[in-house]
């Protein structure tokens, strides 16, 4: 299987183990990167840049390649450039000049969590100075497009081989709602939140299947509440043509200390359970290929 080439500092791909046919499944972890990009000059310490990172999510899903699916992971912080936003989701107040291209009116931008985050966290600004249009464009060109191209290549390769592909977009969430989030400050969150954009990003049967696998393992699991999935599952999904995308949010209280960011005592058990989930997803995909239903 030929894979897109890794780009150090941008993304890497853990290839599927080579012991049989590759699965029609691709996993990606867009927010687990913690490497500070060259030239990035936030006004806050690294620890604040990384508050929004989905720390350890790539490691939690490390078993994925053993089941025949590649795992694509970004290496840079989410707040530096958010791969789960569209390139038009630019916050004009960050810029020292008007943006020459189209701009969206996305709610995420209004909350300061657009393509490039306005705040590191809460109401603490990420930058002391405005960014140049050129610098923002370079950031998009160097980080956003190559990652999405690599994901598209992986999905196209699997779809070309099998006639269908299941894309699993892996994230984590703070244990409760906060002032930047769509749910209320302090709101209780389930262990697992699956997002299929209200049934439009994948066959709802797939969402229900994954929810059942998690619930069987004892995890409180909600669907599209409060996270429905964003740009990654929107852009790469096309269920009418057998391209299914599902976002999985894992509650950070299950596996890490949200203050120190260190792995917690629950990490190993959760990783073992995700191994079972990955195996089940690959099994579901194999059983739902066109012509096998
Ligand atoms: Zn995320």
229-276, pLDDT tens digit by residue? 999 999 999 999 999 999 999 999 999 999 999 999 999 999 999 999
Q: In this predicted model, what pLDDT tens digit does every residue of 173-184 receive, in sequence order?
A: 999 888 777 888
Q: Are 24 and 289 in contact (CB under 8 A)?
A: yes
Report the separation in Å between the CA atom of 170 and the middle of ligand 1, taken as the mean of its atom positions: 7
For the domain 11-287, what is the CATH code?
3.40.630.40
Average pLDDT over residues 53-81: 97
Residue 149 to residue 3: CA distance in whole angstroms: 12
Report the separation in Å between the CA atom of 34 and the middle of ligand 1, taken as the mean of its atom positions: 13
CB-count exposure of residue 100 (10 Å: 0-12, 13-18, 19+): exposed
Which residue reads 């046919």 in tokens? 21
Would you state the pLDDT for residue 1?
58
Average pLDDT over residues 14-24: 86
Average pLDDT over residues 97-112: 94
Would you state the pLDDT for residue 291?
81
- pLDDT above 90 as % of the chain: 90
Helix (H) or strand (E) holding 134: helix 133-139
Residue 94 to residue 81: CA distance in whole angstroms: 13
Strand partners for 170: 248
Domain ranges of the chain: 11-287
- The candidate with the shortest Cα–Cα distance to 242, out of 169, 197, 293, 171, is 293
Would you state the pLDDT for residue 202?
98
For 43-68, give the DSSP string: SS-HHHHGGGS-TTHHHHTTTGGGGT
Would you state the pLDDT for residue 217?
98
pTM for this structure? 0.96
- The rounded mean pLDDT for the chain is 95
Would you state the pLDDT for residue 186?
86
Report the separation in Å between the CA atom of 18 and the middle of ligand 1, taken as the mean of its atom positions: 29
Q: Are 243 and 167 in contact (CB under 8 A)?
A: yes
């Amino acid at each position: 299987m030929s894979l897109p080439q890794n780009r150090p500092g941008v993304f890497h791909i853990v290839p599927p183990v080579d012991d049989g046919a590759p699965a029609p499944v691709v996993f990606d972890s867009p927010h687990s990167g913690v490497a500070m990009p060259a030239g990035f000059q936030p006004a806050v310490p690294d620890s604040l840049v990384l508050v929004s990172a989905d720390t350890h999510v790539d490691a939690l899903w490390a078993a994925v390649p053993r089941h025949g699916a590649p795992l694509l992971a970004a290496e840079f912080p989410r707040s530096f450039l958010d791969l789960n936003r569209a390139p038009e989701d630019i916050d004009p107040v960050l810029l020292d000049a008007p943006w020459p291209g189209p701009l969206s009116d996305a709610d995420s931008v209004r909350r300061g969590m657009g393509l490039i985050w306005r705040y590191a966290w809460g109401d603490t600004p990420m930058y002391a100075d405005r960014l140049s249009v050129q610098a923002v464009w370079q950031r998009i060109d160097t980080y956003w497009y190559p990652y999405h191209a690599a994901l598209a290549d992986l999905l196209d390769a699997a779809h070309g081989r099998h006639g269908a592909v299941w894309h699993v977009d892996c994230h984590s969430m703070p244990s409760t709602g906060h002032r930047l989030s769509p749910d209320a400050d302090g709101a209780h969150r389930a262990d697992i939140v699956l997002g299929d954009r209200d049934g439009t990003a994948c066959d709802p049967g797939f969402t229900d299947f994954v929810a059942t696998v998690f619930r069987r393992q004892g995890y409180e699991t909600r669907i599209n509440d409060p996270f429905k999935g964003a740009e990654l599952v929107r852009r790469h999904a096309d269920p009418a043509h057998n391209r299914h995308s599902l976002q999985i949010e894992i509650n950070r209280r299950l596996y890490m200390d949200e203050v120190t960011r260190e792995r917690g005592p629950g990490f190993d058990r959760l990783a073992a359970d995700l191994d079972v989930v990955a195996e089940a997803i690959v099994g579901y995909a194999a059983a739902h290929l066109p012509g096998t239903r």
